[in-house]
Chain A
Amino acid sequence: RKEVEQDPGPFNVPEGATVAFNCTYSNSASQSFFWYRQDCRKEPKLLMSVYSSGNEDGRFTAQLNRASQYISLLIRDSKLSDSATYLCVVTAGGTSYGKLTFGQGTILTVHP
């Protein structure tokens, strides 16, 4: 079983749509959770951290359910510029020296 599992998509949505991505992780010792974004042929960049209480950053909302080991990302009012691969990321747990485990990514394409 992969440590972090995501639906690879692709998700094709029109501008203005709301889209949700889900992710599950297997390591119950993981303490911190993130979403990274990777544009085509570019490096990944941190999008936002994910907290148990849920957190919002503009049109983006992230949720964490520790009991179910489940993470989600909601994008409202999608823009063309949101087209990218979204990576679900968790810490390795324990003395990890900042080590992160990445999901394989979910591809989002927003069309006019």
Chain B
Amino acid sequence: DVKVTQSSRYLVKRTGEKVFLECVQDMDHENMFWYRQDPGLGLRLIYFSYDVKMKEKGDIPEGYSVSREKKERFSLILESASTNQTSMYLCASVKAGRYGYTFGSGTRLTVV
């Protein structure tokens, strides 16, 4: 069964910590995405990548960075976590030219 795997289901971090969220897909997909989902706001795109070492800002990139050193792995980095980054983070991937995303099961991050 094809999968997008996010490294943690729940995380609690302190304000100011550097946080790494990992996402791995086994479908040889070119495109990978990081979204955050908040009540009343829906899914908002943080960053996406269409190839190894390539990245593009989404709608809300401030306070985040990403890394894609290998095709199957796309990491989201919170440089200095803040309480307003408490959210559900969803990783997704899709083959180039397609739109049927496969999502990971999400990481619920709480920053205290």
- Chain A residues engaging chain B, CB cutoff 8 angstroms: 8, 32, 34, 36, 42-46, 49, 87, 91, 97-105
Closest A residue by C-beta to B58 = A99
Q: Is B41 an interface residue, CB under 8 A from the partner?
A: yes
Q: What A residues does B25 contact at CB under 8 A?
A: none
Which residues in chain B, 79-105, are within 8 Å of chain A measured between CB atoms?
A: 90, 94, 96-101, 103-105
What are 13 A-B pairs at a CB distance below 8 A? A8-B40, A43-B104, A44-B90, A46-B99, A46-B101, A97-B50, A97-B96, A98-B31, A98-B48, A98-B98, A99-B48, A102-B35, A105-B42
Taken together as a complex, chains A and B put the C-alpha atoms of A49 and B31 apart, in Å, by 19
What A residues does B28 contact at CB under 8 A? none
A43 in contact with B103 (CB, 8 Å): yes
* Contact B104–A98 (Cβ < 8 Å): no
Verify A87–B101 contact, CB threshold 8 A.
no
CB distance from A57 to the nearest CB of B (A): 14
B56-72 to A contact mask, C-beta < 8 Å, 1/0 = 10100000000000000
User: What 5 A-B pairs are tightest by C-beta distance, nearest first?
Assistant: A104-B42, A43-B103, A97-B50, A102-B43, A98-B31
Which of the four size classes fits the interface of chain B? 20 to 34
Q: Is B74 an interface residue (CB 8 A)?
A: no
Which residues does B use to contact A, with CB under 8 Å?
A: 31, 33, 35, 40-43, 45, 48, 50, 56, 58, 90, 94, 96-101, 103-106
- How near does chain B come to A85, taking the closest CB pair, in angstroms? 9
The reply to whether A45 and B97 contact each other, CB–CB distance below 8 Å, is no
Q: How far is the CA of A45 from the CA of B105 in the complex (A)?
A: 11
Residues on A with C-beta less than 8 A from B48 are 97-99
**Alpha-carbon separation in the docked complex, A103 to B43 (Å):** 7
The 8 Å CB contact of B33, one of A36, A91, A99, is A99
Q: Which of B40, B42, B90, B97 has the most C-beta atoms of chain A within 10 angstroms of its own C-beta?
A: B42
The residues of A that contact B58 with a CB separation of less than 8 Å are 99
Which residues of chain A have C-beta atoms less than 8 A from B43's C-beta? 44, 87, 102
